[in-house]
Amino acid sequence: MKSINEQAKNEISIIGKLLDVTTAAGKLNDGRAYERANLTVRVTQEYGGREETSEVPVSMFAAQFTSHGTPNPAYKTIQDLKTMQTAQNVGYDNADRIRLSGATLRENAFVSRNGTLVDGWQLNASFANKTNKKDCATFATDIFIMDMHAEEDRDGDSTGRLVIKGGIVQYGGRLDVIEFIVENPTAVDYIERNWNINDTVSCVGFIRVTSVEVSAAANDSSWGESIPQTTTRYVRELIITNGDDTGKDEDFAYDATEIKKAFNVRKANLEQLQIDAKNVASKKSTAQSASKYDWE
């Protein structure tokens, strides 16, 4: 079996127009300076015979020097990003086209203001450079299939799409659990017949980050004329378009027992995340209740 300490293949390719960049600086506990960057890249790519445009958010983080004291090239990349032309500053037509490399897919879990655990994904990159190559926002990764089920809409009706929860083994044996979508009917049919829970498979696909307008009636009363209301729904999806024919042979597959151990560690970390958030909220509530207002 494949060791849980061996990282899964996890490659992200992003090429497109640089929309915006924000940076922040600080210092690590050992005194080394670091910079953090958040950027958005607009990507237009073809899928299913039509063009889709996504605005893909990417994060970067780098210390100025490595732990061995040598200059960190990823840090220089963030400095270079500050000099690039963004659509926000010079307009879309004049913005730089960039290619991100050293990019990976990771789980992103946090507790919302109302105390709900939000579990999604994020993209992290190490390097960026100007390019004239064709737009793309794609992934190529190995996943351990933890669950597969038909997607349903809010009314409980099948959408025809397949949801796959895949475990991605990261550095140090950490397990990230990320949701993927299969929407091509032929691909859905094939995967349902040939992929199984506990299989390790390689898959490729494209990244969709866009918004969709949703219309609904303003009310459901029995009289009068309803005025439609339009809301915007933010869509972040990883669409599998191809992959292995079947699960990998034993020598190249992760062991289900080891995956379960890593999953239990992840579960405990998420539970602690919620506990910490509740403790912080409780302290804020106590401080507010003890405060005095001028008008009291």
The whole-model pTM stands at 0.90
Tens-place pLDDT, residues 66-93: 999 999 999 999 999 999 999 999 999 9
pLDDT computed for residue 161 by the predictor: 98
Q: For residue 116, which phi and psi values (nearest 5 degrees)?
A: -85, 135
295 — pLDDT class (breaks 50, 70, 90): very low
pLDDT computed for residue 255 by the predictor: 98
Q: Quick one: average pLDDT of 52-69? A: 96
Compute CA distances 239 → 33, 117, 138, 243, whole Å: 37, 23, 9, 12
Residue 211 to residue 220: CA distance in whole angstroms: 26
For the chain, list the strands marked E by DSSP: 10-27, 33-47, 50-63, 97-111, 117-124, 127-130, 136-152, 158-169, 175-182, 200-217, 228-243
Tens-place pLDDT, residues 178-211: 999 999 999 999 999 999 999 999 999 999 999 8
In the predicted model, what is the mean pLDDT of the chain? 92
pLDDT over threshold 90, residue 60: yes
Report the CATH superfamily, name and number, of domain 10-215+230-279: Nucleic acid-binding proteins (2.40.50.140)
Residue 55 to residue 44: CA distance in whole angstroms: 9
